[in-house]
Amino acid sequence: MAEKVILIDDLDQSEGEDVVRREFQLLQRTFAIDLSEANSARLAEAVSLIELALERGREVKQATRARKAVEPSRLRGHTNSDVRAWAREQGIDVPTRGTPPEEVIDKFLAAHPEPEDD
């Protein structure tokens, strides 16, 4: 039993004897699409225009988020964990994570004028 394959143009969904699989390259990649002669000519024109734009254009890199400058540590050798532990010993309520509140750091620094030597 014979089978008949009917190709349909991928752009305008038309059927015809001139619809065939066509390959084209763009950005170092090969693509395949089923097109009629008329749509193949339109595609070739569009790809040529894109290639010309790529030749004459320039690549734009994505902007990255600027990093904040690192401030010298106010803690002079201590860590946020040191501040939280000291605050809890003093009965001061502090969050378990993150930077302790400024007033807690100020109290810690007043109580610890110099960092401990290891």
Contacts of 76 (CB under 8 A, 6+ apart): 109, 114, 115
Quote the pLDDT of residue 12: 94
Q: What is the mean pLDDT of the chain?
A: 87
Q: What proportion of the chain, given as a percentage, has pLDDT over 70? A: 92
72 confidence band (pLDDT: 50, 70, 90): low
Domains and CATH numbers, the chain: 1-56 (3.30.60.230), 80-111 (4.10.320.10)
3-state secondary structure at position 106: helix
**Given this model, what pLDDT does residue 116 score?**
55
Q: What is the structure's pLDDT at 112?
A: 87
Dihedral, CA atoms, 99, 103, 109, 112, nearest 10 degrees?
A: -100
Residue 27 pLDDT: 85
